[in-house]
């Protein structure tokens, strides 16, 4: 059964009861994350038709949770603290998120989905300008490092990896990481078609290495608490990628 079919089946089952189910209820019944359920419910036209999505409340909760998790850390943040920051009741949070770790996972997924969209725009922009391979790779890496520098996400990144090891949220992380890798693979394949990379370059492996590099830089950013030298790192690694290390 496809994800869309699972979401639709869960909705049809739950909507027969009272009260009207929330997106969180449907996501839980379908075995998917909140953002995934929301995406398919909107695609099917069910959110608007049945008034399933009080978006403003959810956005307030996510904004408050982001501040709390980045300032206090996941382990030290309670739903009561998030509710107080958001100016909503604890019950309102449960209307959107099954638990604290589901809220944390939704926040991480939202951030990574935004990163996927921004990366896709960066790649399209760089390809459209027809830069040479060194300039293109360097600029793409620099933009991604700068986004990490500008965000408090790195601390949450470490916390979520710890959570994901022991819960089903590891699947969310792997799914989104795979999407990022697929975008990078497409970019590299396009460079190969344009003759800017050797035809024998393994696009998937290079994209995978790129993802490992970004994960490592995010960990370094979180541990050191210092901003990374985006331009210096991007130029150095860009030259290695463009020219190799052979004699």
pLDDT in tens, 140-177: 889 888 887 777 777 777 777 776 776 666 776 777 77
- Report how far apart, in Å, the C-alpha atoms of 88 and of each of 77, 79, 84, 92 are: 16, 11, 7, 6
- On the question of pLDDT at 130 being above 70, the answer is no
CA angle 21–53–94, rounded 5-degree value: 55
Q: Structure pTM? A: 0.62
**CA distance linking residue 114 with residue 73, whole number of Å:** 21
Question: Region 45-60: what's the mean pLDDT?
Answer: 69
Q: Who wins on pLDDT, 176 or 36?
A: 36
pLDDT at 157: 78
Instruction: Count Cβ atoms below 10 Å from residue 3 Cβ, excluding itself.
Output: 14
pLDDT at 202: 92
Of 83-87, 142-146, 240-244, which gets the smallest average pLDDT?
A: 240-244
Contacts of 132 (CB under 8 A, 6+ apart): 196
Query: SS3 letters for 166-209?
Result: CCCHHHHHHHHHHHHHHHHHHHHHHHHHCCCCCCCCCHHHHHHH
pLDDT in tens, 191-228: 788 777 788 889 999 889 888 888 888 888 888 888 88
**CA distance linking residue 71 with residue 51, whole number of Å:** 34
């Amino acid at each position: 059964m496809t994800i869309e079919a699972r979401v639709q089946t869960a909705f049809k089952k739950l909507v027969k009861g009272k009260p009207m189910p929330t997106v969180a209820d449907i996501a839980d019944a379908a075995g998917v994350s909140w953002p995934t359920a929301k995406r398919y419910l909107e695609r099917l036209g069910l959110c608007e038709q049945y008034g399933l999505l009080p978006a403003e409340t959810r956005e307030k909760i996510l904004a408050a949770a982001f501040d709390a998790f980045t300032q206090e850390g996941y382990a030290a943040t309670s739903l009561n603290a998030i509710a107080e920051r958001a100016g909503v009741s604890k019950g309102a949070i449960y209307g959107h998120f099954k638990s604290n770790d589901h809220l944390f996972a939704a926040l991480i997924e939202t951030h990574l989905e935004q990163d996927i969209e921004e990366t896709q725009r960066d790649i399209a922009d760089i390809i459209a300008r027809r830069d040479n391979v060194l300039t293109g790779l360097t600029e793409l890496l620099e933009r991604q490092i700068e986004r990490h520098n500008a965000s408090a996400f790195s601390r949450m990144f470490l916390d979520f990896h710890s959570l994901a090891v022991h819960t089903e949220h590891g699947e969310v992380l792997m799914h989104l990481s795979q999407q990022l890798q697929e975008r990078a693979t497409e970019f590299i394949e396009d460079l190969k078609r344009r003759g800017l990379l050797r035809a024998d370059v393994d696009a998937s492996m290079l994209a995978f290495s790129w993802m490992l590099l970004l994960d490592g830089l995010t960990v370094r950013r979180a541990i050191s608490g210092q901003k990374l030298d985006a331009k210096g790192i991007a130029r150095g690694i860009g030259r290695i990628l463009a020219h190799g290390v052979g004699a």
